[in-house]
Amino acid sequence: MTGVASATAVDAAHTRQPERPNLVAVGVIVWLSSELMFFAALFAIYFTLRSNAPALWEQQSELLNVPFSLVNTTVLVLSSVTCQLGVLRAERGQVGRLGSLLQVGKWGMREWFVLTFLMGAFFIGGQVFEYAELAMHEGLTLSSDPYGSIFYLATGFHGLHVTLGLIAFLFLLGRTYMTRRFTHEQATSTIVVSYYWHFVDVVWIALFLTIYVVK
């Protein structure tokens, strides 16, 4: 009886829900707050330059492919949904799928995070394609004019943050394959990464509305 009780206690310790908040999560939130200030500064620079050259903004903003960027934005926003579905599976201790790959409802954390990674990679690929189109066919570069400078700086720094998020997903997925058991600490890591991913998604929505919609 004692052995059974001990085994039950160990299993409960490994399957308990991650505690919120914890020191790691709080640290990430504080760091994201500093990143928010960084992007706020970029927004301030954007609006300052725009107020000083409204004619340039009106002309150069016509070069942007808004429908293409809207598709790219939609994919990134939906990736927040898939990321959160992965977090919910991680909180339940479900690492891998319980059925076939076609049974989406039985996917585990790995499958949802792989899909999130692919959607994020799609966004980065779309951004690179947009840069190439603007630079080669429209002549809009980082040094062409103030509009080009702030456009590439704002969207480029955001793209860098998305890339760092993709690296974090790869790290998390790699850990689930390297360790035999899915631990409480790993589940907490998925929550922390989701905080970061939701952050870059919200920042992009603000960038998209500012650069592509409000002209």
Mean pLDDT along residues 129-158: 94
Looking at the predicted structure, is the pLDDT value of residue 101 above 90? no
pLDDT in tens, 59-72: 999 999 999 999 99
- Alpha-carbon gap, residue 69 to 194, rounded angstroms: 23
Domain ranges, ordered by start, for the chain: 2-213
- Alpha-carbon gap, residue 199 to 153, rounded angstroms: 18
Residue 94's pLDDT band (cuts 50, 70, 90): confident
- Residue 98: its pLDDT value, please? 86
Angle between helices 109-137 and 184-208 (to 10 degrees): 30
pTM over 0.75: yes
Contacts (Cβ under 8 Å, ≥6 apart) of 206: 39, 43
CATH of domain 2-213: 1.20.120.80
- Residue 12: its pLDDT value, please? 42
Looking at the predicted structure, is the pLDDT value of residue 153 above 70? yes
pLDDT in tens, 154-186: 999 999 999 999 999 999 998 888 877 777 777
Mean pLDDT along residues 45-55: 93
